[in-house]
Amino acid sequence: MQTLLSVMNSNKPAEKLNLACDLTDRYQRIREYFPKVAGAELSTEWRGGRVEAMRRLATVNGDNYGKTRNFLEGDVTRLSPYLRHGCITLKEAFESVRARFGKRAEKLLFEFAWRDYWHQVWYLKGDAILSDMEPAKVALGRGALPEDIKNAQTGLPCMDGFINDLLDTGYVHNHARMWFAAYAVHWRKVDWRAAADWYYAHLLDGDKASNSLSWQWVACTFGSKPYFFNKENLAKYSNESYCKSCTAKCPFDNTYEVLSEELFDSTNTPPAKTYKIAPLAKVETMQGVNTIVLVHDEMLSPAHPLLRRMDKKIFVFDPALHGDWALHRLQFVADCLIEMEDVEVWFGDTRQVLNQLGAGQVITQATPNPTIHVLLGAYKVDYLAEEPLTDIKLTSSDLRRFSKYWQKMGPAILNP
């Protein structure tokens, strides 16, 4: 896929962008600014920004969620791209759902907590989340992602359907993500990281922590056993929508016992694998005198407290951060930015932009993203802490497994 990274020319100065208010013009401009970025246009059911996030939050059905969330047609919130980009905070979503549904929405509060859990693990472990967190409990394949998967041509209507959802809209239901990840890692023996990187690139909610750690949970490099499924499970929760007319030889049509025998070898388990992380290109930084508010991609809300500051505020489409994002995600982010009137939008290396603006001090929201820390390494930086879900202090031992995290956080979340 052509990406932002491949169109960046490091000798060119950073460029200030002008996003149009009109939606059609805005998407056209994103295509013009980033002509080589591949992927589908943002589909009409997705619009970035806080207004849309609040609309979705208001229509959440906390009563039905628990009973139906595992079904592809279930009452899920579709809030993930908005939470991921900070259009609304997780705390806001929690409080709104808790106030309206109380304990009836326990399952939804529990699922929100998964996002917080992965985020906290990222704070703790940094880039280590991009490598095996633990040795796998069964032998894993380390193959590249095959072309038939990238092109939705596996010949399995269910998997091709899930891949097309990803490529066309950037949104995939949680259960479909689990089925697809298990298919790629356990049936096709693809290296989890190769699959996860490709997946991340196309998701509207792509998040290094939720994505990498979910893939690792499926693969069992961060969990006690591998996740897999059978045809009965997929047929039930997809209301047979794929199975009914499927003529393929179904690789999932068996009991869990037989599939487990076929798929897993627990006698020949590999040591944990560490993946190399490419260092950022060197950019000379100059110390200026100006204070700049850097709006990064987890804080795209006009209600963000840092936007009240009088200092110059900027957002940078930076290949080091957004270099692998597909077109629909850049358009989603452009929607978010158009609501943030005061924020200048740039394209280039963040350090280059800060140099051009004479930055000495940078103020931004705290983030677990190590790339942002490296980009800002040469500046004096004030990180505004994220609003925590509760006052509870978590230790590294609480973060070893979600069950431990929930044991400590659950009671405070459910009975504030």
Ligand X SMILES: Cc1cc2nc3c(=O)[nH]c(=O)nc-3n(C[C@H](O)[C@H](O)[C@H](O)COP(=O)(O)OP(=O)(O)OC[C@H]3O[C@@H](n4cnc5c(N)ncnc54)[C@H](O)[C@@H]3O)c2cc1C
Per CB under 6 A, residues contacting ligand X are 69, 76-80, 83-84, 111-112, 114-115, 118, 173-174, 177-178, 181, 203, 205-207, 210-211, 214-215, 218
| Pairing of β 359-365 and β 343-347 | unpaired
CB of 213 to ligand X, least distance (A): 8
Provide the minimum distance between the beta carbon of 411 and ligand X in the complex, in angstroms, as a whole number: 19
Characterize the bridge pairing of strands 312-317 and 290-294.
Answer: parallel
Distance of CA 208 to the CA centre of its chain: 6
Task: Collapse the DSSP code of 291 into the 3-class scheme (helix H, G, I; strand E, B; otherwise coil) and give the result.
Answer: strand
Q: Which is nearer to ligand X, 69 or 313 (CB)?
A: 69
Nearer to ligand X, 33 or 118 (CB): 118
- Cα distances (Å, whole numbers) of residue 104 to 59, 77, 115, 123: 16, 15, 20, 31
Pick the closer one to ligand X by CB: 227 or 383. 227
207 is in an annotated binding site: yes
Beta strands in 312-395 (DSSP E): 312-317, 343-347, 359-365, 380-384
77 is annotated as contributing to ligand binding: yes
Other residues' Cβ atoms within 10 Å of the Cβ of residue 340: 21
287 token code pair: 């110390």
String of DSSP letters for 105-133: GHHHHHHHHHHHHHHHHHHHHGGGGGS-S
Is 265 annotated in a binding site? The answer is no
Min CB(199)–ligand X separation in Å: 6
- What is the DSSP pairing of strand 359-365 with strand 312-317? unpaired
Phi and psi for 18 in degrees, rounded to 5?
-125, 100
- Which residue type occupies 154? T
Is position 108 annotated in a ligand binding site?
A: no
User: Residue 342 annotated as binding?
Assistant: no
State which residue, 84 or 351, has the beta carbon closest to ligand X: 84
Q: Is 156 annotated as a binding residue?
A: no
Q: Select 220 or 345, whichever has its Cβ closest to ligand X.
A: 220
**How far apart are CB 93 and ligand X at their closest, in Å?**
7
Residue number with CB closer to ligand X (14 or 72) = 72
Rank residues 26 and 177 by Cβ distance to ligand X and give the closer one: 177
Q: Radius of gyration over alpha carbons of the chain, in Å?
A: 22
- What whole-number distance in Å separates Cα of residue 136 and Cα of residue 71? 29
Asked if residue 206 belongs to a known ligand binding site, the reply is yes
**Residue 364 annotated as binding?**
no
| 245-269 as b/e: b if 16+ CB within 10 A | ebeeebbbeeeeeebbeebbeeeee
Least separation in angstroms between CB 361 and ligand X: 32
Determine contact, residues 295/315, Cβ cutoff 8 Å: yes
Residue 177 C-beta: closest distance to ligand X, Å: 4
Q: How far is the CB of 247 from ligand X (least distance, A)?
A: 27
Binding residues for FAD, as ranges, are: 65, 77-80, 205-207
Binding residues, as ranges, are: 65, 77-80, 205-207
